[in-house]
Amino acid sequence: MLLSKKKSAINIKNNSIIYKKPTIYSKPIVKLEVGRLVLIKKCKTKWCKITSGGYSGWIFKDSLWGKI
């Protein structure tokens, strides 16, 4: 049983980048360290919109571990 209805995941790749839009040509916002907890807002085929530590943006889905 989950304690929260919010979807969350953990960053499993070193130097994962949060982008402003779901494309690598978009502005990079911040790099995430391995093990960082992120809250998932929504996901597309290869990207998820997340928030973590006051930052919000898009990250590659394969950088995340959890029930996505």
For residue range 8-67, list pLDDT tens digits in order: 999 999 999 999 999 999 999 999 999 999 999 999 999 999 999 999 999 999 999 997
The pLDDT score that the predictor gives to residue 60 is: 96
Identity (one letter) of the amino acid at 53? G
Is residue 19 within 8 A of residue 59, CB to CB? The reply is yes
Q: Is residue 25 classed exposed, middle or buried when 0-12, 13-18 and 19+ CB atoms within 10 A define those classes?
A: exposed
Whether the per-residue pLDDT at 2 is higher than 80: the answer is no
**For the chain, what are the domain ranges?**
8-65
For 8-65, CATH number out of 2.30.30.40, 2.40.128.520, 2.60.40.420, 3.90.180.10 equals: 2.30.30.40
The pLDDT score that the predictor gives to residue 68 is: 76
What's the pLDDT band for 3 if we cut at 50, 70, 90? low
Is residue 43 within 8 A of residue 29, CB to CB? The reply is no
| Residue carrying structure tokens 């943006």 | 57
Whole-model pTM?
Answer: 0.89
